[in-house]
Structure 1
Amino acid sequence: MKNIVLLFAATFCTLACSSVSPAADNQLTEQEQQAGWQLLFNGTDYTGWKCNNAKEVASDVVDNAMQPYKSGGYLIVHEKQFGDFILKCDVKMPETCNSGIFFRVEDLANPVHTGFEAQIATGNGVGVHDFGAIYDIVPTTKNASKGPGQWNHVEIKCEGAEVSIKINGELVSQLDADELDQPGEREIAGDHKFKLNGKSRAIKDFARVGYLGFQDHGHPVWYKNVKLLPLN
């Protein structure tokens, strides 16, 4: 009888543990698959990705992570465009880092002025150019970085005019684009950088569908577990 009880307990533990165990890197969990998450990076090569200038990605996959550094373009972008979604990924930065995750990019020839950017950067600041900011528009409320050399979890949500960013599970910036309906207007004093044909843009006028990409800004940065959930 004792052996039967022990066997039952071991079997139950195995089933329980397997039901909650996380997926390996660059794989979807069973729960994510059922919820409709898409795996955008396979951990091996750049299938489904290209440079924003249409060149093939020249940088290597390093330790099963994307590394946009020396990719051959300003951005590594996914071949599909996305509108409303939740994007999550893990990012690791070197001691000095200034990079970004671009999303809803309208024009691949001009991503700097036609898309949003979630700032990826080292440091302890809480401005519009610090880790987790909606670059040059909304500052972070908190610097939630684990620091250089550590994996940080980033989550970006876009739903209509609403944009938000979480770092390591903490909400650090959010935006209602419809509220910024004047050219140059942003959440803090001063004008933002975004211009089109030499004239400042209103954030409200940004495209609600566009390309998703990772910036090569002169520093090696590592990305893995790049997953996206379309919001229909």
Structure 2
Amino acid sequence: MNKRLFLLIAYTCLFTAIPLCSADDNQLTDQEQSEGWQLLFNGKDYDGWKCNNGKEVASEVFDGSMQPYKSGGYLILHEKTFGNFVLKCDVKMPESCNSGIFLRVEDPANPVHTGFEIQVASGTGTSCHDFGAIYDLVPTTKNVSKGPGTWNRVEIKCLGPNISVTVNDELVCQMNADEFDLPGERAIDGDHKYKLDGKSRVIKDFARTGLLGFQDHGHPVWYKNVKVLPLP
């Protein structure tokens, strides 16, 4: 093989191995920008974010990642509200973890009972309290978490009554809220946790627009590449 041909093959292999649409952490790719994605976390500070109690976020940004732990509130919430959207982020957990990603929160003062939660948790189970489940409503079909100390890709789509969860590129949970039109009804036996004035809520009646954020449930959890694509 002559030297010129060898160099041509080497350069071809090098550049085809590097995705042309890649971007650094906490930045949008050119394709994402053209599609209308919005970057919600800049990797440097909590601009655009506050605790659900209105306080400034007290926790520090760690190595380009947001950290709800000891933030000063139960959730850190983005200032914008979203209805139909796709949210994606990378999540890393400690060895023991029970936390969540909250969506369509109606009342920041009561997010537990007025917003949906996508479970972020250590373990290998497939209940409605395991990684990727729509918390206390719909169990995950499979647990594809890479485990503690490793980044997991999460993508959540909300479109009307439909919510779907993808973890590490695998669809693991889906829900049509309109199917739960009775108080306390969920995908499995038993009553769910969502109540107002002591009465079980009807999931069909949940708001279709609200705030999104990340929970401080007593465990350090890290998030980066937090991006949202509003849908019509």
* TM tier, smaller: over 0.9
Q: State the shift of 1:11 in Å.
A: 7.8
Tell me whether 1:22 sits opposite 2:13 in the alignment: no
Normalising by structure 1, report the TM-score: 0.94
Q: 1:17 to 1:95 in 2, by over 3 A?
A: closer
2:65 counterpart SS class: coil
The match for 1:206 is 206
The amino acid that maps onto 1:59 is S
The amino acid that maps onto 2:159 is E
The amino acid that maps onto 1:77 is L
Residues 125-153 of structure 1 deviation map (CA, whole Å, 9 limit, x = unaligned): 10011100000000000011001100000
Q: 1:50 to 1:12 in 2, by over 3 A?
A: same
The match for 1:73 is 73
The amino acid that maps onto 2:143 is N
The match for 1:138 is 138
Looking at structure 2, the residues matched to 98 and 225 of structure 1 have their Cα atoms a distance apart, in angstroms, of 21
* Paired positions, count: 231
Which 4+ runs in 1 deviate beyond 4 A?
Answer: 2-19
1:113 counterpart SS class: helix
Looking at structure 2, the residues matched to 17 and 218 of structure 1 have their Cα atoms a distance apart, in angstroms, of 41
Q: State the shift of 1:22 in Å.
A: 1.3
Q: State the shift of 1:20 in Å.
A: 2.1
Preserved contact between residue 53 and residue 108 of structure 2 (Cα < 8 Å): yes
Q: State the shift of 1:43 in Å.
A: 0.3
The match for 1:117 is 117
The share of aligned pairs that are identical, in percent, is 70
2:153 counterpart SS class: strand
2:123 counterpart SS class: coil
Q: State the shift of 1:109 in Å.
A: 0.5
The match for 2:129 is 129
Looking at structure 1, the residues matched to 13 and 152 of structure 2 have their Cα atoms a distance apart, in angstroms, of 30
Residues 47-69 of structure 1 deviation map (CA, whole Å, 9 limit, x = unaligned): 00000000000000001000000
Looking at structure 1, the residues matched to 19 and 133 of structure 2 have their Cα atoms a distance apart, in angstroms, of 35
The match for 1:105 is 105
Q: CA RMSD in A?
A: 1.7
Looking at structure 2, the residues matched to 156 and 82 of structure 1 have their Cα atoms a distance apart, in angstroms, of 12
The amino acid that maps onto 1:141 is T
